[in-house]
Amino acid sequence: MASLQASLLLFSSPPSSSSSSSKKAINAAIHGPKLPRFLYSVPKKPIRNNMVEELILRDVPIEKNISTTNSSNSIVQTQLYAILEAVADREGMHINVGEQRDNWNTLLLGSINMITLSAATMAGVAAIGGVGLPLLALKLSSTLLYFAATGMLLIMNKIQPSQLAEEQRNAARLFRQLRSQIQAMLALRTPTEEDVENVMEKMLALDKAYPLPLLGAMLDKFPATFAHAVWWPKKKNKSNEGKQLDGKMEKNGWSEELEVEMKNIIEVVQRKDIEDYVRLGNLALKINKILAISGPVLTGIAAIGSAFVGNGSAAAVVAVAAGALASAVTAFEHGGQVGMVFEMYRNCAGFFHLLEETIEGELEEGDLEKRENGELFEMKVALKLGRSLSQLRELAKKSASTHCDGTQVDEFASKLF
């Protein structure tokens, strides 16, 4: 029995040891030492940082381009605002100067006529019953007043205050128009450097056309021939190459019919409006020249006649009659503002020449995409001429029919002037 128990113990002990060792091995495999959590999270941070850095590096050029574009746009807008401020200042200056020169016309006209009539009255009184020292005093006073009136008339006829005032009124209106164009440009679209150059050229052209000072820069009030006013810069040559109209195809609002219509409008403007204002301008210029010479000549003759009052009745008649006639001439010239009428004709003729150049400039542009929209351009032309679109097209048809019938259009293109 003892040997049997010993043998059983020998055979039973190995399995227990092997099972316990296998359990330990399994437990060791299952419950082995855990790795720290930071080992698994470490690779994630560099990956995320690399992605962020890559995105940042990709965004930097875009931000630089955007900032560069914004800075250039802001510079252009700042320049336009500076020009806008200068234009508004010019407008105010021309308004003030225009009012001042209109006052010149009123005050000088009243003063010269009062001096002339006073001198004529003294000459008449001296001829009636003046003797001795009273006669000498009246003659001397009359002569001095006539000479004073002659000198003042020479200055007034040279500068033509009514014409100066009209120049300043036109300049103020055109600067106001330019100011509105700049404001619309800033409100409706992003301006470019080319816009800044164009606006600067327009402002400088206005300064040249309507100068503020009198000495050294005043416009000639009595030119040899009538010439229309020019207040716009010279047009740049446009390219004739580009997209042309193909049949009845419409591009950017332009069509072949619209181009023909604009050409017919130009013909009417040239034949009727421009020719009429050139004729009226030459007539006003001749009348103004005659009146400007007649006034000082008459007061000079009256001054000489008043010096010989008392030696015969003829001298008194010359002194009084010439003085009265000089007063009438001065009142007609400056009270009727003949110089202002002449300047108005210059401005109207310039308006039609500008319209003609604008239409021709659009038609010369070969690239239709670079032109102004055709429908918008047609509406602007109609508004400038004081017509509706239907009236404008009807006028173009009348102009086209003259080529076939040989007749002339019986109306002016503009219904405003």
Q: How many CB atoms are located within 10 Å of the residue 398 CB?
A: 17
Distance CA 202, CA 177 (A): 11
Please, are residues 245 and 251 in contact by the beta-carbon 8 Å criterion?
yes
User: What per-residue confidence (pLDDT) applies to 215?
Assistant: 83
Task: Identify whether the C-beta of residue 311 lies closer than 8 Å to the C-beta of residue 273.
Answer: no
Please state the pTM of the whole predicted model.
0.78
pLDDT for 189 equals 87
Q: What is the pLDDT of residue 312?
A: 63
* Confidence (pLDDT) at 40: 42
Backbone dihedral angles phi then psi of residue 121, each to the nearest 5 degrees: -65, -45
* pLDDT recorded at residue 237: 66
Using CA atoms, how far apart are residues 200 and 202, in angstroms rounded to an integer? 5
Compute CA distances 145 → 105, 291, 324, whole Å.
20, 20, 13
192 and 79 in contact (C-beta within 8 Å)?
no
Q: What share of the chain is helix, strand, coil (3-state, %, to 5)?
A: 80, 0, 20
Per-10-residue mean pLDDT of the chain, 417 residues long, equals 43 43 43 45 46 45 51 86 96 96 95 95 84 82 95 95 96 96 92 92 95 88 93 76 53 90 93 94 96 96 90 83 95 95 96 94 87 92 94 91 78 88
**31 DSSP assignment:** T
pLDDT of residue 311: 65
The phi-psi region of residue 216 (left if phi > 0; otherwise alpha if psi is between -120 and 50; otherwise beta) is left
Amino acid type, 369: E
pLDDT at 96: 96
Q: For residues 167 and 163, what is the distance between their CA atoms, to the nearest angstrom?
A: 6
Burial (CB < 10 A; 0-12, 13-18, 19+), residue 331, is middle
Crossing angle of helices 275-307 and 44-129, in 10° steps, is 40
Give the DSSP letter of residue 334.
I
Cα–Cα distance list, 99 to 73, 102, 155, 213, 262 (Å)? 39, 5, 19, 15, 39
Which residue in this structure is represented by tokens 């105010």? Answer: 92
Closest CA to 399 of 271, 262, 260, 265: 265
